[in-house]
Amino acid sequence: MNAIIAKRVDSGTPDTSEIIDLARAAGYTVVGEVTQTRTEDPALGMGEGKVEELAVLTAETDVEAVIFDNRLDPYQTYNLGQKLPTGVEVIDRFTLILDIFGQRAQTRKAQLQVELAELRYELPRAEAKTSLAKREERPGFMGLGEYDESREQDIKKQISNIRDELERIEKTEEHRRQQRRESGFDLVALAGYTNAGKSTLMRQLAADLDVDENEELHPDLDSTAESEDRLFTTLGTTTRKMEARRRDVLLTDTVGFISDLPHWLVESFKSTLDQVYRADLILLVVDVSDPVEEIREKLVTSHDTLYERNEAPIVTVLNKIDKVDAEELDEKRAALSALAPNPVAVSGQDGENVDALIDRIDADLPDWKHERLVLPMTEETMSVVSWIHDNAQVNDVNYGDDDVLVDFEARPTVVEQSRSKASDLSPAAESA
């Protein structure tokens, strides 16, 4: 499908690079663009003369859609449709994003979140149809369609039902996270903007295995999260096991951030973002080849999103160092020092400096506790020793005639579990 991009900004020079990427991600071929710098026109969004220019270009290029990198209200959408050739669809930024989300949603959770976002988008439009039609006493006024007062209530009821189902899914996921922690896993989340290279970096950090809903590792699943150069490759979450020196780590890749998203859209995907908020450590990945002002803006927005509900430490990862020289990298490190005081610079593409990132992950994850347990020599003792080996970093095991001394380090929850298992063996079991 061919499309023309249209964008208006209040000041400065309009940048259409992101909206073009979004259009391509949705399956459109961009064949032209029209931009304007001026205040918003209440009726058309753009000035009338610029809309006439857009209509001419649309007719000459035989396109199916005009995609605005702006938010259009229902009346602007209708008015623009009247100015353009018959059959040309008018799509605004958020309708396009919802279209992409809908195409990429594979899991039940992702589908619910897309449906929630669509309903949140539709609700004010349904209210506008009802309000305007009542005032004008003309159902379908301005081509907005027949109105039905009950539609508003239907939408609100559907939103409530979806929230309830997402809450049930989240409770299941929280239980799963807790089981993983009790099994000795640290949880690390990849966050950042789309096309920052999160999925490519995941290929360097994590084993080629998915972790399914039942906590089992399946080597026959799809190899890795895709790492194509397109937006929204990862809509849901992908979790894989990685080795971080002395720790067992589960690494989760989530949907990428994108600029200028309204609150209602971010809120619709809160359930996916919980995978980030509830991690033990967050890797905030940025594309270091972007202009420094763009990186700074993305870091500020990411911090606002993450610090709202997150308590885990954040490590900034300057990715794609294969695309910049050493001098540019140093300049950007210095310019971003206030927002990223101690970043790790890597190339997810060729693996450069990934070992340093793994060391940083190991260092910044929550501290482990050191423990020495004296276990009585019973028939069940070896199973406890084996469990400690599976869930902790064992430094030494000393077998005596009547007992076993196990020296290890582990997460606090694992230490507590090991003490409980030891006490079940015999009241004589104790910490050394």
Q: Which amino acid is at 313?
A: P
Q: Which two tokens stand for residue 281?
A: 């450590």
DSSP state of 397: E
| Per-residue model confidence (pLDDT) at position 161 | 94
Question: Spelled out in words, what is the top-level CATH class assigned to the domain 2-101?
Answer: alpha beta
Is 253 annotated in a binding site? The answer is yes
Is 321 annotated in a binding site? The answer is yes
Is 322 annotated in a binding site? The answer is yes
Three-state SS for 209? Answer: coil
Which region among 23-32, 98-107, 128-137, 168-177 has the lowest average model confidence (pLDDT)?
A: 128-137
The predicted model gives 291-309 an average pLDDT of 84
Q: What is the pLDDT of residues 24-40, one digit of tens each?
A: 988 999 999 999 999 99
Per-domain residue ranges of the chain: 2-101, 105-170, 184-364, 369-431
Question: Which three-class secondary structure string do you get for 220-264?
Answer: CCCCCCCCCCCCCCCCCCEEEEEEECCEEEEEEECCCECCCCCHH
Is 399 annotated in a binding site? The answer is no
> pTM, whole model, 2 decimals?
0.63
The residue written with tokens 């509830």 in the block is 278
Three-state SS for 45? Answer: strand
Q: How far is CA 404 from CA 177, 371, 399, 432, in A?
A: 32, 14, 5, 11
| Per-residue model confidence (pLDDT) at position 432 | 55
Is 347 annotated in a binding site? The answer is yes
pLDDT at 244 over 60: yes
The DSSP annotation for 364-392 comes to: HSPPPEEEEEEEE--TTHHHHHHHHHHHS
Topology annotation, domain 369-431: Alpha-Beta Plaits (3.30.70)
Q: Which two tokens stand for residue 161?
A: 């039902």
* CA separation for the pair 277, 166 (Å, rounded): 16
The predicted model gives 159-177 an average pLDDT of 83
Is 110 annotated in a binding site? The answer is no
Three-state SS for 178? Answer: helix
Q: Are 305 and 276 within 8 A, CB to CB?
A: no
Asked if domains 2-101 and 184-364 share a fold, the reply is yes
Contacts of 270 (CB under 8 A, 6+ apart): none
Is 256 annotated in a binding site? The answer is yes
Is 134 annotated in a binding site? The answer is no
Topology annotation, domain 184-364: Rossmann fold (3.40.50)
Is 32 annotated in a binding site? The answer is no
Contacts of 193 (CB under 8 A, 6+ apart): 256, 257, 258, 259, 286, 287, 298, 302
Is 348 annotated in a binding site? The answer is yes
The predicted model gives 154-160 an average pLDDT of 91
Is 58 annotated in a binding site? The answer is no
